[in-house]
Amino acid sequence: MLMAGITKHSTTLADGRELIYFDDAHSTLPPERAIDSRVLDPRPATASMRQDPLTDEWVSIAAARQNRVFLPPADQDPLAPASPANPSEVPSNYDVAVFENRSPSFGPSHDAFDPALLDEIGLGRSLPSVGRCEVVCFSPEHEGSFGTLTESRARTVIEAWADRTEALSAIPGVQQVFPFENRGEEIGVTLRHPHGQIYSYPYITPRTQRVVASIEKFGPGLFQSILDFEGASDRVVLRGEHWTAFVPFAARWPIEVHMLPHRHIPDFAATNDAERTELAGMYLRVLRGIDALYTTPTPYIAAWHQAPVTVARDDIRLMLQVTSPRRAETKLKYLAGSEAAMGAWIGDILPEQTAAFIREGIDRA
């Protein structure tokens, strides 16, 4: 259920994909929305995923992604409101817009397969990449990021994340929902428009499987124990009534900030109005502080880790992890042999130093 007076309007694009408008609490936009009058090719077939028998991981082979737009000029922005010269993906002006990705890594088929098939290991195994991938447009502006939004607009995006988490979790075959933002060409961003994405996976992701294994070793309450441990350290960068942001004790990246809610919440759909309201302001302060570290914007991945749809929901807590490879004004950390090939990380900077640096950035911002 939407909170804070934010409203929602759902429609379809010319090829049948769903488009949802989320209007700010005090939006001046009319409720009517234009029809998508484009003539589009049929949607690509659902991608397939192949199993790696060495790791029991699934790799989605989504060849249609090769055709996606790459750094278009401002007047050909596919995420901007449509105009006669730019027949974009969003027919009307908007505050926040969410639509199904035209070249998804998962979906559009929602025909679930037997999840027991995921428990087997063999050679040459392939399954359909069921699920759904959505684009979340934070603003109609051509350039920016989540950190450039107003607090009111950030609140609308958080409502959209909560709404979509609940809806996507109900799709047959979906086992995990993942909202995230890639920011900066150094990360691989192909559109400068302020936006994020939501992936809905037909399996529990490898990272989350590792967390489940850690909980089995540590015991119940791992996330609360982490919050208590980090909250008592000098790595805290920002603390509110409902959330705490910190640089983790074993940070992998030169810039890395995690944020946890103070009570157990498995995903965005389970947050309440007060938590969403505080998060809008705190999250903006964290991202703006990271941007204030240097004279140019900092590339990052902002990843919202949520509990799987049906398992470990009493143990895995909603968690933000912001990571950046930026290790100096003009230097990036590249994953070389140890990290990329073996998954054995080597940190370059003491996490306590990073936390102090980020607190200074937050103060400047």
- Alpha carbons within 13 angstroms on the beta-carbon side of residue 76 total 5
- In the set 193, 195, 242, 305, the catalytic residue is 195
Q: E strands along the chain, which residues?
A: 7-12, 18-23, 48-52, 57-61, 96-100, 126-128, 132-137, 176-183, 195-201, 236-239, 243-246, 255-261, 300-305, 319-324, 326-328, 331-332
Strand, helix or coil at 135? strand
Q: How far apart are CA 94 and CA 1, in angstroms?
A: 20
Q: In the chain, what is the straight-line distance between the N-terminal and C-terminal CA atoms, in Å?
A: 33
Q: Kind of pairing, strands 126-128 and 96-100?
A: unpaired
Measured between alpha carbons, how far is 126 from 112 in angstroms, rounded to an integer? Answer: 14
3-state class (DSSP) for residue 272: coil
Is there a catalytic annotation at residue 195? yes
201 vs 112: CA distance, rounded Å: 11
| AA identity, residue 362 | I
Task: Return the closest-CA partner of residue 32 out of 49, 11, 50, 2.
Answer: 11
Dig out the tokens for 29 from the structure. 């936009």
Q: Which runs of consecutive H residues, i.e. helices, occur in 232-365? A: 273-291, 342, 351-364
Helix (H, G, I), strand (E, B) or coil at 344: coil
In sequence order, the 6+-apart residues with CB closer than 8 A to the CB of 237 are: 245, 246, 247, 257, 286, 289, 355, 358, 359, 362
| Catalytic residue numbers, as ranges | 195
